[in-house]
Structure 1
């Protein structure tokens, strides 16, 4: 039995000292990661979003081309295609709302995200359509809903025109491939610029300000880590853009609109500073049966900036498709 003198010599430590020590060590660890390994925080957030969407990462070789993709969810199959300088992660906010009812497949196109560059070096939209078709065929998908954002919309539209038997419905989200009134973004392209090819924090922040009406928050070190990660592909993306804006490629989708038979959603945000919302007038004129939906208060990155409205509009067009 301890005597009062024993307790005086060995005072009991406050109960909160160990939790406080652990909390302090945790905070110190986070601060260290933020300053020295900010890319880990970026990867952790992508992993969190992927988990919330019920998606799993996988890899597949199709001929000489290696693909990295995510897949998950239950229900009718849906293929989601990202845009220029984008990746599968761009679809995660919308995918989280779709995966409870649909089986999603979201690849990194060759030359983007985690997928290596295109083995043949060709990035024209027709070449990307054939590459995507080889991928879905290798996955055993024969009939599915198809959605594409920006460049991915250009690819998806051409895919639906060429392979109508495969596409149950088509969702074109801020899609490239049709003309619109000249804006500052187009003027920069004509002068040889490429806002997509960010190489440092300053150029990334400039691009985010163009792509979003309200850019998502991320600490400066994390944004810098992302800029450093994509900087290695800046030369490639400059070349990709040059291939996409040639006279025979820039408005390739417009020439194929009459050949699209699937129920089609055209979804845009009214503050898109890259591909002007007046692009929708081309679809209105040449696809009179298409559903055209313009969202308010968002920019070019609709699947990230307005995921709830994007998912609702896509579910509605899915429902109109034949079984």
Structure 2
């Protein structure tokens, strides 16, 4: 599915549909294809926005979860989005959390799926087999409950990234930053309504991570999805969209009733 990539200054992004904005943040190996089901469904009801996170373009000192959160803040300021829903998967969820801890005033709801920020089993902090296609294919398949989700196109994308020495250094730097930047002590201060959608078969951020987020974020609800790994919006898009849409509708109904 091809979407127009728009530019504004240094920012590149996708913006589809009209209505209350939903801003989607991708993970460390994230691609637009990760969100194709989300875009297609929610563009009927919302303005769906995906900023291209500069995972490999920040200088090494800014290559961190905090550096990405600052970039997202500047993007949101430049586009002047308000009253939006912020959704992040994996590292994107971690970036969303760091953003909302500093700038809660613009965010109407937070949606996390397979988010880092508390604990994660990454693809590893080392790539001893850089250039080994089979190794990368097996590692990519671990992201999903159904290994067939690791299509050749997806594996090729990851292989291309991990074959580039500079990109590998940036990935390792970001992975280490995510591990160091544990948010356990700060999550209790988040008051934004929060939806957690977790794969019961997630081996990267296992179900107990979702339960811990639920325990620490006061105004949150948790939904588990069976036969699903680390990327529910990819692996079970219909179920993911149903849960998220129901949540946003209930949130809007509550806002109308309280008006």
When Rg is computed on C-alpha atoms for both structures, the one with the higher figure is: 1
Q: What stretches of structure 2 of length at least 5 have no aligned partner?
A: none
Let me know the Cα RMSD of the aligned residues. Answer: 2.5
TM (norm. structure 1) is 0.70
CA distance in structure 1 between the aligned counterparts of 2:52 and 2:135, rounded to whole angstroms: 23
CA distance in structure 2 between the aligned counterparts of 1:110 and 1:216, rounded to whole angstroms: 29
Partner residue of 1:161? 101
Does residue 133 (structure 1) correspond to residue 73 (structure 2)? The answer is: yes
- Equivalent pair of 1:69/1:88 in contact (CA under 8 Å): no
- SS in structure 1 opposite 2:188? helix
- Equivalent pair of 1:158/1:256 in contact (CA under 8 Å): no
- Equivalent pair of 1:201/1:227 in contact (CA under 8 Å): no
227-236 or 301-310, which moves further after superposition? 227-236
Does residue 262 (structure 1) correspond to residue 195 (structure 2)? The answer is: no
**C-alpha offsets along residues 187-218 of structure 1, whole Å, 9 cap, x if unaligned?**
x84xx4359x9644213211222101113467
101-110 or 122-131, which moves further after superposition? 122-131
CA distance in structure 2 between the aligned counterparts of 1:245 and 1:169, rounded to whole angstroms: 25
Partner residue of 1:93? 37
Q: What stretches of structure 1 of length at least 5 have no aligned partner?
A: 1-48
Change in 2 beyond 3 A, CA 1:225/1:264: closer
- SS in structure 2 opposite 1:241? helix
CA distance in structure 1 between the aligned counterparts of 2:218 and 2:77, rounded to whole angstroms: 31
**Alignment map for 1:10-159 (pairs within 5 Å):** 49-50=1-2, 55-61=3-9, 66-111=10-55, 117-119=57-59, 121-159=61-99
- SS in structure 2 opposite 1:165? helix
Residues paired across the two proteins, number: 250
Does residue 305 (structure 1) correspond to residue 203 (structure 2)? The answer is: no
- Equivalent pair of 2:5/2:14 in contact (CA under 8 Å): yes
CA distance in structure 2 between the aligned counterparts of 1:103 and 1:255, rounded to whole angstroms: 33
- Equivalent pair of 1:172/1:267 in contact (CA under 8 Å): yes
Large movers: runs of 4+ above 3 Å: 192-195, 197-200, 215-220, 222-225
Change in 2 beyond 3 A, CA 1:175/1:194: farther
| C-alpha displacement of 1:293 | 0.2
255-264 or 118-127, which moves further after superposition? 118-127
CA distance in structure 2 between the aligned counterparts of 1:309 and 1:225, rounded to whole angstroms: 27
CA distance in structure 1 between the aligned counterparts of 2:101 and 2:174, rounded to whole angstroms: 23
Does residue 207 (structure 1) correspond to residue 139 (structure 2)? The answer is: yes
